[in-house]
Amino acid sequence: MSAGKIIVYGGRGALGAAIVKHFKANNWWVGSIDLAANEEADANVTVSKDANWSTQAQTVMTGLESALGSNKVDAIINVAGGWAGGNASNKDFLKNCELMWAQSVWSSTISAQAAATFLKDGGLLALPGAQPALQGTAGMMGYGMAKAAIHQLTKSLGCDNNGLPSGATAVAILPITLDTPMNRKWMANSDFSKWTTLEFVAQLFEKWTKGVERPASGSLVQLVTNDNKTELVIE
Amino acid sequence: MSAGKIIVYGGRGALGAAIVKHFKANNWWVGSIDLAANEEADANVTVSKDANWSTQAQTVMTGLESALGSNKVDAIINVAGGWAGGNASNKDFLKNCELMWAQSVWSSTISAQAAATFLKDGGLLALPGAQPALQGTAGMMGYGMAKAAIHQLTKSLGCDNNGLPSGATAVAILPITLDTPMNRKWMANSDFSKWTTLEFVAQLFEKWTKGVERPASGSLVQLVTNDNKTELVIE
């Protein structure tokens, strides 16, 4: 018998794949939502990146219904997203705003909608924030706006009458830099001892899914790593 | 000779029309951007609500170029936007998120882009925030996310290397409730002495445009009205 069921939105990304692997290794049933299937997952819902917001939502809702039947899940963990830079005079400013919005915010609102239907009472909904977006981010304006929207959505989901199942917890994790192969490639001269490992995040999500040291609903949880040790700053 | 030139984005809305009227009465040249023309304005750029983000941006940039020629403006004031309610289980949740985003955030990013090109050095860019979105807004999740994104964009535009002309100031106003005919209609039993008048906001913008008591760039300016008197809370 499995430990329980979770959904990872973005299960093919670097962090998402690490989460799928970690939960699978610990005997969970794992569903993945992404642009392509994660073969390690027990079920996959694939969305087209060319589909619009509501079409992606329909694909996800229909896919989860067919994968889950009448079962509910213990957690929906969204780690979908990407990164794009640029300020207001960048020629790709609007294009990048649009891309950041589609990757992070569409997936977060669809995750919230899916949680309203498929999450157990007392379940966990985790959304992808970013620590830098707590302040201005002139060099990555579209990215910052999308992440700030996710932070505010998280706070809304922490209020009463949020539409989630009874007793559910919504949190956002706010990493500074994750230790991914892509970040190693593009920021090769960085101090990696300040980067947060994917395994740390995966373990954290499993702990919270089991109800261990789970933050209050609506919390923004900064992941602050120094000397290869990550501390949580919870607001 | 006119006092100077300003652009009002959303110049046909209740607040936008009040701003156009106030600036015109004080001898400014006023351009309006909206879904329909404001006949009081000196120039109009009309965008189609069915056009996507980049098409609306192109229409605005081309329209301003033809209205302004080589002239620059003293201020670009965006007051476009609307309101929609609903939490994560609302059947129109995503539709409302999308609408709020298109109305407030598209217009704000396009205003920022337009400011990079058409604003004078030391000019003013004003964006439409909302005081309630400083916290969670469970009853209006899409609205809160869009406004939070605008707040964060304002902070980014207050940082160095923001892409705006030298010395330009970006601020957001964060009203609680504006005293508009529509709000009077839908919230007829409210305490109107706590609502902020459109004329107060129009006067505030003229003062800031002239450089009088202008807040630091990146400021979020809450408009807090009690006993028919509005105070500014600047963060």
Note the pLDDT tens digit of each residue in B86-114. 999 999 999 999 999 999 999 999 999 99
Q: What is the pLDDT of residue A82?
A: 87
Query: What CA dihedral angle connects B205, B206, B212 and B214, to 10 degrees?
Result: 20
Q: What is the pLDDT of residue B2?
A: 82
- Per CB-CB distance under 8 Å, the chain B contacts of A57 are 94
User: Which tokens sit at B92?
Assistant: 């129109």
Q: Which domain holds residue B150?
A: 5-234
- Is A143 among the catalytic positions? yes
Task: Using pLDDT thresholds of 50, 70 and 90, give the confidence band for residue A35.
Answer: very high
The percent of residues above 90 in pLDDT, for chain B, comes to 97
Chain A: residue whose CA lies nearest to B113: A88
* Of A87, A116, A155, Cβ closest to residue B162: A87
Q: Are A156 and B138 in contact (CB under 8 A)?
A: yes
* Of A139, A145, A162, Cβ closest to residue B138: A162
Quote the DSSP letter at residue B102.
I
Burial B27-56 (b: 16+ CB within 10 A, else e): ebbbbbbbeeebebbbbbbebeeeeebeeb
Task: Using pLDDT thresholds of 50, 70 and 90, give the confidence band for residue A1.
Answer: low
Chain B: residue whose CA lies nearest to A58: B94
Query: What CA dihedral angle connects A80, A83, A89 and A93, to 10 degrees?
Result: -30
Number of domains in chain A: 1
Cβ contact, residue pair B88, A218, below 8 Å: no
Catalytic residue among B9, B143, B200, B205: B143
Q: What is the pLDDT of residue B82?
A: 87
User: Which tokens sit at A16?
Assistant: 């998402």
Cβ contact, residue pair B54, A163, below 8 Å: no
Sign, CA torsion B98/A81/B54/B38: positive
The percent of residues above 70 in pLDDT, for chain B, comes to 100
Cβ contact, residue pair A88, B139, below 8 Å: no
- Average pLDDT over chain A, rounded to whole? 96
Residues in CB range of A144: below 8 A, 6 or more apart = A130, A132, A133, A136, A137, B152, B153, B155, B156
For the packed helices A14-25 and A198-209, what is the interaxial angle rounded to 10 degrees?
50
Amino acid at B145: M
Residue with tokens 């261990």: A212
Cβ contact, residue pair A113, B133, below 8 Å: no
Q: Are B71 and B5 in contact (CB under 8 A)?
A: yes
**Residue A201 reports pLDDT greater than 80:** yes
User: Which tokens sit at A107?
Assistant: 């997936």
Max CA pair span of chain A: 55
SS3 at position B34: strand
Q: What is the pLDDT of residue B86?
A: 92
Query: Please, where are the H alpha helices in chain B?
Result: 14-25, 53-68, 93-100, 107-118, 141-157, 181-186, 198-209
Cβ contact, residue pair A155, B136, below 8 Å: yes
Q: How far apart are CA A152 and CA B92, in angstroms?
A: 19
Among candidate residues A49, A51, A57, A55, the one with its CA nearest the CA of residue A81: A49
Among candidate residues B161, B165, B150, the one with its CA nearest the CA of residue B219: B150
Which of residues B80 and A3 earns the better pLDDT score?
B80
Q: How far apart are CA B207 and CA B201, in angstroms?
A: 10
Quote the DSSP letter at residue A165.
P
Note the pLDDT tens digit of each residue in B129-165. 999 999 999 999 999 999 999 999 999 999 999 999 9
Q: How far apart are CA A133 and CA B160, in angstroms?
A: 15
Mean pLDDT computed over A96-106: 94
Mean pLDDT computed over A30-41: 98
Q: How far apart are CA B208 and CA B165, in angstroms?
A: 17
Q: What is the pLDDT of residue A90?
A: 93
Q: How far apart are CA A87 and CA B52, in angstroms?
A: 21
Q: Are A168 and A122 in contact (CB under 8 A)?
A: yes
Task: Using pLDDT thresholds of 50, 70 and 90, give the confidence band for residue A2.
Answer: confident
Domain at A125, CATH number: 3.40.50.720
Q: How far apart are CA B29 and CA B142, in angstroms?
A: 35
Q: What is the pLDDT of residue B20?
A: 98
Residue with tokens 């006067």: B203
**Residue B1 reports pLDDT greater than 80:** no
Catalytic residue among A143, A195, A200, A208: A143
Among candidate residues B159, B45, B102, B53, the one with its CA nearest the CA of residue A92: B53
Min Cα separation A172/chain B (Å): 13
Whether this model's ipTM surpasses 0.85 comes out as: yes
Give one DSSP letter per residue of B129-196, joined into a string: --GGGGS--TTBHHHHHHHHHHHHHHHHHTSSS-SSPTT-EEEEEEES-B--HHHHHHTTTS-GGGSB
